[in-house]
Amino acid sequence: MIDAMIEVRGLLVRYGSATALDRVSLTVERGEMVALIGPNGAGKSTLVNALSGIVRPAGGHIVVRGRLGHVPEGRQLFHDLTVDDNLMLGACRSRDRDTSWVYDLLPGLVRTRKQRADSLSGGEQQMVAFGRALMSRPDVLAVDELSLGLAPIVVAALAERLAQLNRERGLAVLLIEQNARLAFDLCSRAYVLEAGRIVTEGPSAHLANSAAVAKAYLGGALDEPA
Ligand SMILES: Nc1ncnc2c1ncn2[C@@H]1O[C@H](COP(=O)(O)OP(=O)(O)O)[C@@H](O)[C@H]1O
Ligand SMILES: [Mg+2]
């Protein structure tokens, strides 16, 4: 716990009189991939927006050790700028604007570097959003909806890239994902957020075998044994 990259305790966020997060606690350890799943409106984006300082909490504690990279929901690219320029906007300081190592990590983007962001496919745009987050040289990456609106084959490629960054660079990841099966496959632990509260948490394998989680998030009954 002392080594946690992200430590959230008793987080309270309100929008006006509505409570979006109600005493949420969560950790991401060094080198760990952790999933956050839950239905639309549960407060998942609010949580990562609080982590990255976009949303101001009404209570609780947030500790982020090292740099946090944020892949925002819906990617939020500058559509009329090139891929190169979008990447450079992710650099913390101007002297960190070397994009070459990001292209090395995401070679699929090399041939798009001079293209406008809005000329790219959805999967390529998500890759740019990843690359932009990596430009800040993060120690931990929060990915808000990896698979949203993307074809399965594209999602698989992005997921493999993310797993590789974790494996080879020790990048810790907090993954928000609608596809619970994918989230459980990629991440060793998961939290389930419903209506602003963590209702279940534990090892992914354990959650995937819970009847309640399977019913709500895995499309019905547990998998039949092979
Ligand atoms: N800027 C905002 N102002 C007011 N309410 C918001 C705002 N952002 C989100 N909400 C509300 O907070 C709740 C949680 O939203 P969100 O964090 O986006 O959930 P999720 O990412 O899990 O879909 C929802 O009821 C949503 O309508
Ligand atoms: Mg969201």
Q: Is the CB of 142 under 6 A from ligand 1?
A: no
> Is residue 164 one of the residues assigned to a domain?
no
> Is residue 162 one of the residues assigned to a domain?
no
Ligand 2 center to 46 CA (angstroms): 7
Strands, DSSP E only, in the chain? 6-15, 18-28, 33-37, 59-64, 68-71, 140-144, 172-176, 189-194, 197-203
Domain end marker among 114, 138, 162: 138
Do 5 and 27 lie in a common domain? yes
> Into how many domains does the chain fold?
2
Q: What confidence score (pLDDT) does residue 212 get?
A: 87
Q: Among all chains, which residue has been given the structure tokens 């932009």?
A: 132
Ligand 1 center to 45 CA (angstroms): 7
Q: Are strands 140-144 and 68-71 parallel, antiparallel or unpaired?
A: parallel
**Closest ligand by atom to 38 CA:** 1
Full residue range of the structural domain in which residue 184 is found: 1-66+141-148+174-226
Q: Is the CB of 17 under 6 A from ligand 1?
A: no
Q: Token pair for residue 209? A: 């075998």
Q: Is the CB of 132 under 6 A from ligand 1?
A: no
Do 76 and 56 lie in a common domain? no
Do 61 and 72 lie in a common domain? no
Q: What is the CB neighbour count within 10 angstroms for residue 195?
A: 14
Are 162 and 173 in contact by the 8 Å Cβ rule? The answer is yes
Ligand 1 center to 82 CA (angstroms): 30
Local structure of 87: helix, strand or coil: helix
> Is residue 196 one of the residues assigned to a domain?
yes
Specify the DSSP class assigned to residue 116.
B
Q: What confidence score (pLDDT) does residue 76 get?
A: 92
Distance CA 205, CA 226 (A): 17
> Is residue 163 one of the residues assigned to a domain?
no
Do 26 and 6 lie in a common domain? yes
Q: What confidence score (pLDDT) does residue 226 get?
A: 46
What is the pTM (predicted TM-score) of this model? Answer: 0.93
Q: Measured from the CA of 176, which atom of ligand 1 is nearest?
A: 21
Q: What confidence score (pLDDT) does residue 94 get?
A: 65
Q: Measured from the CA of 43, which atom of ligand 1 is nearest?
A: 17
Q: What is the mean pLDDT of each run of 10 residues along the chain (226 residues)?
A: 87 97 98 96 97 96 95 92 93 78 90 96 93 93 93 91 94 95 96 97 94 84 52
> Is residue 13 one of the residues assigned to a domain?
yes
Q: Is the CB of 42 under 6 A from ligand 1?
A: yes
Pocket residue to mutate for ligand 1, from 22, 37, 40, 46, most atoms within 8 A of Cβ: 46
Q: Is the CB of 196 under 6 A from ligand 1?
A: no
